[in-house]
Each structure stands twice: as structure tokens, then as C-alpha cells.
Amino acid sequence: MELCDIHTHLVYGVDDGPPSLDEALKGLRALRDLGFTLVAATPHRRTALFPDMRAEIPRRFEELRAAAGSEGLRVELRLGAEYFFGDDLFEDFGSGGVQRLGAGNKFVLVEFQKFSIQEFHKNFIFKMSLRGLVPVLAHPERADMSSSSARDMFDYLVGNGALVQCDLLSLVGEFGWGTHTTDRVLELVDRGIPAAFSTDLHCTAREIELLPRAIEVLTARVGVERTAALLGDNPRQILAGKRPKGPA
Ligand SMILES: [Fe+2]
């Protein structure tokens, strides 16, 4: 099975991903060993936490691609971004420079810290749709969805065409966010909500160690065919700019 990942932190020295090209290559090798052959690098675009590195990212991305190519690592790479839903996204939308999941694509990876329904947010999502842009919600299982307003916003987004990407490592309870995240991701899976699972790899040894088990957990829960859709066909469709047709 050839896997595809639409959410990774592989561009070195620009966010909380790998600090060096060597570490980035370690992460990429690990992805290749797991069967990933098409991978989007999605550096954070969240200037409240990370510096604005847009001028530097394409060069470091090409450096990674060249280094991977010269060691014969057969992984096709795309460049995207992981937006925090807030000022940076609004600013890039205003200037027409939203970084999609690959050139010419319509999908934009967006993370929410807390879903909250506000008219301004709904209007913005509507304006995105008028320009043909579709949000892909990054790991909503990690967001605060404790209030009914948060659940309303999530349902509004999904009801209006947003796609949902969950993190593989959310399936492995001890990784960072606690068992409630695992409960939530399993609930989303059981409701058939996620279109894709991703590694959200930051290139740490702990993530690399846990990923095989996370894939096993997903397979045990949904079976081989749906795992293939969530880790292969669907994300591949998204990077091709198409809505996934396979089982969600
Ligand atoms: Fe991420």
C-alpha cells in the first residue's frame, strides 16, 4: 500500500519541526519506511508562536527535496502550510496569497485551538468558499470542543464542505494529549468523519517509534480497506485537488 501524508513538519528550522536538514531527512526516511510515497510538508503559519519564515521556506523545502533525491529516497514532496485559524490566514486571504496543499490546489490546512461559532468566522468560511477554497481541519480531536457552541462550529464547517484530517498519534493515548484525545478521535472515526489520517510528524524519535502502533490501532478499528482509504487514496485525492470519493 502506497501511503500519502498531507500534514508534516519537515522543513527544518522554521517552526517546532526538525532543527536541521539531517533531522528532517531522518523523519522523511521514517515516513518512507512506513510506506509513504507522497508527502506534503506543512510548516506552521502562526506568527503568534513562530516567526514568519515565508521568505525562507521554499528554499529549505527545495534543499530537502534535493537531499532526498540525491540519496535515492523515493518520496514525492509537496509544499503546503498549516494555518492557525486567525490573523495570518485572514491576512493571506486578503492578499490572495493563501498557501494551499500544493500549487493550484483548493485545499487549505487549518488548525483551530478552540472551535467557537461567531458570525465573523462563518462569513470568512463563506468567503473562502466563494474563492473555491476548502478548509481541511487539522486534528480537530485536539481542539477544545467541550461547549455546544464549539460543536456547532465544527458541525457548521463540516456541513459546509470542510474536510477533516486526524492525527495518527492521537490514536496512541500516551502521546502528549492524553486519553480524552484518543476517545475523541475514535468517536470521529466511528462517525465516519475523517477524510484522512496524517502523521503530523515533527521528526522526533518518540513519534517515529509510535507511528507503526498507531497504524495498527487504526487498522484494528476500521479494517484494511478503510485504512487504505484514510492513509492512501483519500489524502492522495486531496493533494490532487479533488474531494475524496472513497469511504470516509
Ligand atoms: Fe501540525
CATH number, domain containing residue 63: 3.20.20.140
Q: Ligand 1 center to residue 218 CA distance, Å?
A: 19
**Residue 3 main-chain phi, psi, to 5 deg:** -95, 160
pLDDT in tens, 62-75: 999 999 999 999 99
Does 244 fall in a domain? Answer: no
pLDDT value for 10: 98
pLDDT value for 41: 98
Three-state SS at 14:
coil
Q: Ligand 1 center to residue 81 CA distance, Å?
A: 9
Q: Ligand 1 center to residue 222 CA distance, Å?
A: 24
Q: Ligand 1 center to residue 121 CA distance, Å?
A: 21
Q: 23 in the Ramachandran plot: left (φ > 0), alpha (ψ -120 to 50) or beta?
A: alpha
Nearest to 231 by CA among 194, 196, 182, 199: 196
The set of cell numbers assigned to 198 is 496524517
pTM assigned to the model: 0.95
Please say whether the dihedral angle defined by the alpha carbons of residues 80, 210, 174 and 214, taken in this order, is positive or negative: positive
**What is the CA 75 to chain-centroid distance, rounded?**
17
Task: Give the list of residues 6+ apart from residue 70 with CB closer than 8 angstroms, or none.
Answer: none
Q: How many Å apart are CA 40 and CA 24, to the nearest integer? A: 13
Q: Give how many domains the chain has, as a whole number.
A: 1
Does 248 fall in a domain? Answer: no
Q: How many Å apart are CA 215 and CA 248, to the nearest integer? A: 16
Q: Ligand 1 center to residue 7 CA distance, Å?
A: 6
Q: In a structure prediction context, what are the per-residue pLDDT tens digits for the chain, which is 248 residues long?
A: 899 999 999 999 999 999 999 999 999 999 999 999 999 999 999 998 999 999 999 999 999 999 999 999 999 999 999 999 888 999 999 898 999 998 789 999 999 877 776 777 888 888 999 999 999 999 999 887 778 888 888 888 999 899 999 999 999 976 666 678 899 999 999 999 999 999 999 999 999 999 999 999 999 999 999 999 999 999 999 999 999 975 55
Q: Ligand 1 center to residue 234 CA distance, Å?
A: 18
pLDDT value for 113: 77
Q: Ligand 1 center to residue 35 CA distance, Å?
A: 20
Does 247 fall in a domain? Answer: no
Cα-Cα end-to-end distance for the chain: 17
Q: Ligand 1 center to residue 127 CA distance, Å?
A: 24
Does 48 fall in a domain? Answer: yes
Does 246 fall in a domain? Answer: no
Q: Ligand 1 center to residue 8 CA distance, Å?
A: 6
pLDDT value for 187: 92
Q: Ligand 1 center to residue 44 CA distance, Å?
A: 7
Q: Ligand 1 center to residue 143 CA distance, Å?
A: 13
Q: On the CB side of 139, how many CA atoms lie within 13 Å of its CA?
A: 21
pLDDT value for 121: 80
Does 98 fall in a domain? Answer: yes
Give the residue ranges of DSSP H helices in the chain.
Answer: 21-34, 57-70, 87-95, 119-130, 148-159, 179-190, 205-228, 234-239
Please, is 54 exposed, middle or buried when counting C-beta atoms within 10 Å of its C-beta (0-12, 13-18, 19+)? middle
The set of cell numbers assigned to 56 is 525562507
Q: Ligand 1 center to residue 111 CA distance, Å?
A: 8
pLDDT value for 175: 63
**How many CB atoms within 10 Å of residue 144?**
11
pLDDT value for 173: 78
Does 15 fall in a domain? Answer: yes
Does 245 fall in a domain? Answer: no
Q: Ligand 1 center to residue 40 CA distance, Å?
A: 11
Q: Ligand 1 center to residue 27 CA distance, Å?
A: 14
Q: Ligand 1 center to residue 132 CA distance, Å?
A: 23
Q: Ligand 1 center to residue 131 CA distance, Å?
A: 24
Question: For residue 163, what are the β-bridge partners?
Answer: 136
Structural domain harbouring 200:
3-239
Q: Ligand 1 center to residue 202 CA distance, Å?
A: 8
pLDDT value for 177: 62
Cα–Cα–Cα angle for 204, 174, 177, nearest 5°? Answer: 80
pLDDT value for 1: 80
Q: Which amino acid is at 197?
A: F
